[in-house]
Structure 1
Amino acid sequence: MTAPRRIAMWSGPRNLSTAMMYAFAARGDCHAVDEPFYAAYLARTGKDHPMRDEILASQPQDPRAVIDALTGPVPGGKPVAYHKHMAQHMIPGIPRDWIAGCTNVFLIRHPARVLASFAAKYENPTLDDIGFLQQQALFDELRAAGERAVVIDSADIRRDPEAMIRVLCDAIDLTFDPAMLSWPEGGHPADGVWARVWYGAVHRSTGFAGPEGDLPQVTGALAPMVAAALPAYDALAAEKLTLS
């Protein structure tokens, strides 16, 4: 029997990550998992996120139990498993010994856009909350170990969804499926319980949104965070997939 493909998509918040999960879940051959370490992360950090109690009750808080599920049989016997991960969830104490067994993709978005969107939903965010430094550290860790890692920019996907999804599929040796370009309006069975707080826009969508406009003007306490996140974003952007 052929071993299943496990695709780990590493993102931060407000970064097209749910739309990408829906795109992969629309494939007939793929089982999707939504932020499986969220409860473990909240339990260890004590962070007071929206719906904290519901999240803690909805998932295993033991990271090893999460890993066992991610690396075990894929539900439905499907040949592809898609893991939507937040890079900031990989805090000390959460093992990383399973990551090299996945096809690792890093989904990036300009930090000004991320912070403008995230701060509208979450008060007083910090640099650690938005995942840029964690994304770069994990990418560098994989590359240093000789592992392959792929980077794709959400702005490029929104500019030309079909072309960029085809490029991504080619980069990870996965056959492109046109079903990845659309999904039914409303929620998805893979959604975490937190979907009603965070996923409103994608629940109203049936496909990828169009190109984004000018960068938002981020001011006040958020501006230094944009500056601090930019080097990590730029380093990953230098490695991103492009149209040939």
Structure 2
Amino acid sequence: MNQMVALWAHPRSRSTVLERVFIERGDFEVFHEPFAHGVFSADSSIPSDDWDHAFPTTYTAIKQRLIEAASRSPVFHKDMCYHCLEELKVDVDFLACQDNVFIIREPVSSIVSHHRIYPDMPLQAIGYKAQYEIFCVLKKLTGKVPYVINADDLAADPQRVIRKLCDYLNIEFLPRALSWKRECPPQWKTWRSWHVAAENSERIIAPDKQGMDITLFEQCAKLKNLYDYHRPFYEHMNAFCQ
């Protein structure tokens, strides 16, 4: 494996609970959305909690923090492509120095979940388009289809999906990492209010179906427009799910 694994997500994609597995493993230094520090601050309108004012705030400095950490031990970082899209699209050296994995979730559920926490979310923050752009960059760079996980598959059968991911990354599958204590890992404190369910979880589970999700979606033109815009990018990546 490379010394660094990147999980490229969109908001509300169950990426945080997958990150929790890597925290529980104990053999990776885990960074939670480091590039968010380059676009947001404690004064931003987006909900945040205990802001880390000591963390770097430029793309170059954040990237360097990750690379330096990877010189000491394996690194896992989870982030949203839209946080650093333009820089990332041309930084092929950075993309090439790590294993890049994508996680996607069916857009109705993710968009409604996002809306409940941050109703003023802008179009680009839904995240699928930015993911797909980096997906295409990597496909061209490597000549291979990037690794894609569907979050619904992860929730339905976490052991199978994570075992397969470990095989892809050439790391040991550790069954003990699939369960944990209910707590907020320090990596999540800046965005704690976004991860209430993950903080109160003990393992990856499939959530109950929420009929009101569809009702809210059908009643809100903004959500429908966000869905219509991003759905094609989801479908493109979903065709290559592992």
- TM-score, scaled to structure 2: 0.88
Alignment partner of 1:151 is 2:148: yes
Count of residues in Structure 1 that have an aligned counterpart in Structure 2: 233
Q: Secondary structure at the match of 1:42?
A: coil
Q: Give the structure 2 partner of residue 87 of structure 1.
A: 81
CA contact under 8 A between 2:152 and 2:206: conserved in structure 1?
no
Q: Secondary structure at the match of 1:72?
A: helix
Alignment of 1:30-109 (within 5 A): 30-42=28-40, 48-51=45-48, 55=51, 57-74=53-70, 77-78=72-73, 80-93=74-87, 96=91, 97-109=93-105
Q: What is the aligned partner in structure 1 of residue 17 from structure 2?
A: 19
CA distance in 2, matches of 1:126, 1:147: 33
Change (3 A) 1:67 1:164: same
SS at match of 1:191: helix
User: As a proportion of its length, which structure holds more helix?
Assistant: 2
Q: Which residue of 2 aligns with 1:234?
A: 235
* Letter matched to residue 236 of structure 1: M
Match of 2:125 in 1: 129
Query: Does the C-alpha gap of structure 1 residues 211 and 117 become closer, same or farther in structure 2, counting only changes over 3 Å?
Result: closer
Distance (whole Å) between structure 2 residues aligned to residue 28 and residue 51 of structure 1? 26
Asked if structure 1 preserves the Cα contact closer than 8 Å seen for 2:128 and 2:233, the reply is: yes
Residue 58 of structure 1 and its aligned partner are, at CA, apart by 4.7
Structure 1: tracts of 5 or more residues without a match: none
- Aligned partners of 2:82 and 2:230: how far apart in 1? 13
CA contact (8 A) 1:36 1:66 kept: yes
After TM superposition, give the deviation of residue 127 of structure 1 in Å.
2.3
Which residue of structure 2 lines up, in the alignment, with residue 161 of structure 1? Answer: 158
**Segments ≥4 residues shifted beyond 4 Å:** none
Partner of 1:206: 202
User: How high is the sequence identity, in percent, across the aligned residues?
Assistant: 27
Q: Determine the C-alpha separation between the residues in 2 that align with 1:172 and 1:4.
A: 8
CA RMSD in angstroms, aligned pairs only = 2.3
CA distance 1:93–1:5, shift in 2 (3 Å)? closer
Of the structure 1 ranges 150-159 and 93-102, higher mean CA displacement relative to structure 2 is found in: 93-102
